[in-house]
Amino acid sequence: MNTRETPQGAARVTMIDIARHAGVSKSTVSLVLQGSPLVKAETREKVVAAIEALGYVYNRGAANLRGQRSNIVGMVINDLANPFFAELAVGIERVFHAAGYIPFIANTIENPKRQGEVLRSMSEHDIAGLIICPARGTRPSDIETMAQLGVPVVLAMRRLAGPRYSSVTPDNLRGARRATEHLLALGHRRIAFFGGYSDMIAQNDRCGGYQAALVAAGIAVDPMLIIEGPPNRECGQNAIGHVLDMAVPPTAALCFNDVVAFGVLTGLERRGLAAGRDFALVGFDDVAEARHTNPPLTTVHVDTGALGERAAHQVLRMIHGDARPEEFVSDVDLVVRASCGAATGREA
Amino acid sequence: MNTRETPQGAARVTMIDIARHAGVSKSTVSLVLQGSPLVKAETREKVVAAIEALGYVYNRGAANLRGQRSNIVGMVINDLANPFFAELAVGIERVFHAAGYIPFIANTIENPKRQGEVLRSMSEHDIAGLIICPARGTRPSDIETMAQLGVPVVLAMRRLAGPRYSSVTPDNLRGARRATEHLLALGHRRIAFFGGYSDMIAQNDRCGGYQAALVAAGIAVDPMLIIEGPPNRECGQNAIGHVLDMAVPPTAALCFNDVVAFGVLTGLERRGLAAGRDFALVGFDDVAEARHTNPPLTTVHVDTGALGERAAHQVLRMIHGDARPEEFVSDVDLVVRASCGAATGREA
DNA sequence: CTCGAAAACTGGAACGTTCCAAAACGAGAT
DNA sequence: ATCTCGTTTTGGAACGTTCCAGTTTTCGAG
């Protein structure tokens, strides 16, 4: 069972071995490893040479046990297969790596039970901080457990009702509002909203922005046009099929995110329809693939990588003792491509 | 500096505290935690109750230190922003989670130096196993260091010259060959190959399959038509621009992967050309987005998630003592969509 | 009852570090 | 030489577990 031995059967080499080999005490070796200025250059060199010679590898588990500090952080993502979250993870990992931290990763696939398991596992490993995109159905108490343990927590992409946690989110409300206004300006009057669930704050914000734009334009919100569902391709495909079968179908839709919009694209295609020509479609997130779809997707651009970096910086700040929570909301832009029909000059 | 204290300032609760509270010895608590059958049901209940009451959280670092076994594994990916590798990571994480292991993640962005850093960091944490998609320029010795330490290693997607390691790869050669044969059957005679570097084994295999098909059809391989570059969008965009400026441009191309093909799509579009109509394009990997591009991408389907799962199972097997390396090659299929022109009935 | 074996429990050493208090060293000052 | 004081170095206790070698308890058989 993975008894830490080299194939040669030699036991792990420890600081004690280094000390012996260099003719100093283990304390001195420790000092050298920590880059302490208390040790004489000459001694340091001897130690470094011994480390080199014996192929020593530092045991952070032991150090952490005694020193009560860890360089492990947790990264809990609700859907890593969604390119949006992958980009987020990349941003997070980038700054953690630069700061000397190493992240655990867990993909909860929107499953609170699974999320609970990984959170427990991570706390057993004494993580120094945590970035989490909470799965749908996460209760604040699930997160609170972590905070109680003294682990700095930053929520990414999804805030949570209840206690004030640090968070990092795009400006969902404004983005959705702008996108909807764009469709309105294009002459659409029956506009649908696809994807997400009303118990997710992000969906609330995006759907709220959509509704606000409608109301501001004097258009009543039609609940029949708000189709909830998981934020994935399938949902988009089902939703478009559903609304097109209505007596008075919508002529446009804003999607909860790009992935849902990709599903809509497929659904339209199946019916021989094309976005931009027969139906105006707008996504949200602007993942890298959005510009390559057929037709290219009009969507709300989110600077995902930067958002991830921001989240990591926030955790780092909290690890270094600054406990103040910070709710960061990043600005967003509508990027107009062909799927909304604007590029083709279509007006109604 | 992250002194593990709750906001209330209470120190961490340990097995000793549980023991005291339950009126047993710490050894008994340990036994309970390990689910040992040696402890009486009644005692077990008392201990469990104490754990519940005091909010104890197990310290795996300490357990690992003494027990010489860890449930941490490493996952080193060369480009997590590529949906293909994200899907791979998802598959890996899925089986590790199910097996009770928790993965570190690192994104090396094809940088061997960075890769070296994360490998060191992971070994300092005493990982039980490692799955790595080696960055370009990885020397076998970089990996060998891990193996020397007794860490089971599985290479994913990219094999390595030298010692026999376990690996998991799609059948690159056959996939590329089939894709090329398809283009040949469509009447193309000047077919380019875009992306990847000849010092990457995966590129060798894919490009090799492409060349084999050409040769079998009695067509000489034109080195001018093999454009190397990083496996990203930019490379595809540059490559297509480059070949279209040739005196006798190719009429088709096989790309090292889908992401390169996405770049080609953009490049064609910029010139007012369309894949499938003006140029036949085939990708490799069949990432989820391939079916939504404009036009949908003909590509070689790889069962990425399953490949990731396989890799994880292999590490698990090795962790459990079976040291035999296994080189797994998964079968692939060409999936014909519109970008190769086959759907439009085009013949030359 | 007593005995012996099986079942249930336990104390202490060990894992590889860090950290503290204190020891050793060295160089000026007396 | 001796004393001081700053610089280096050091031994040993801790960190929270596991595991071993016992020890105590339980219980059925004699």
Three-class SS string for A57-113? CCCHHHHHHHHCCCCEEEEEECCCCCHHHHHHHHHHHHHHHHCCCEEEEEECCCCHH
Phi/psi-derived region of residue B167, left when phi > 0, alpha when psi is between -120 and 50, beta in every other case: beta
Question: Do B200 and B138 form a contact (C-beta atoms < 8 A)?
Answer: no
- pLDDT, chain B, mean: 93
- Strand D bases with any atom < 7 A from protein Cβ: 7-21
Phi/psi-derived region of residue A83, left when phi > 0, alpha when psi is between -120 and 50, beta in every other case: alpha
The confidence band for B342, taking pLDDT boundaries of 50, 70 and 90, is confident
Nucleotide lying nearest to B15, CA to C1' measure: D16
* Buried-state track B225-259, b at ≥16 Cβ within 10 A, e below 16: bbbbbbbbbebbbbbbebbeeeeeebbbbbbbbbb
Per 3-state DSSP, chain A is made up of helix, strand and coil in percentages (nearest 5) of 45, 15, 40
Question: Do A147 and A153 form a contact (C-beta atoms < 8 A)?
Answer: yes
Taking CB atoms and an 8 Å limit, are B93 and A104 in contact across chains?
A: no
* pLDDT at residue A124, rounded to an integer: 97
Q: Which residues of B touch A80 (CB under 8 A)?
A: 86, 89-90, 93
Q: Which residues of A touch B97 (CB under 8 A)?
A: 106-107, 114, 117-118
**pLDDT beyond 90 at B301:** yes
Nearest residue (CA) to C1' of D7:
A38
* pLDDT at residue A10, rounded to an integer: 60
The confidence band for B120, taking pLDDT boundaries of 50, 70 and 90, is very high
**Most B CBs within 10 Å: which of A79, A292, A298, as the mutation test of the B interface?**
A292
Mean pLDDT of B85-110: 97
Mean pLDDT of B35-45: 95
CA distance B35 to A90: 38
Q: Does the CB of B110 have a partner CB in chain A at under 8 Å? A: no
B333-335 β-sheet, strand order: B226-227, B191-194, B252-255, B280-285, B298-301, B333-335
Q: Does the CB of A9 have a partner CB in chain B at under 8 Å? A: no
* pLDDT at residue A343, rounded to an integer: 66
Q: Which residues are bridge partners to B73 per DSSP? A: B103, B129
Q: Which residues of B touch A72 (CB under 8 A)?
A: 104, 125
- Half-sphere exposure of residue A330: CA atoms within 13 angstroms, side-chain side: 22
Nucleotide lying nearest to B28, CA to C1' measure: C9
CB of residue B149 closer than 7 A to nucleic acid strand C? no
Taking CA–CA distances from A321, the nearest residue in chain B reads B1
> Mind telling me how many Å the CA of B283 is from chain A's nearest CA?
14
- Its pTM stands at 0.92
Q: Does the CB of B144 have a partner CB in chain A at under 8 Å? A: no
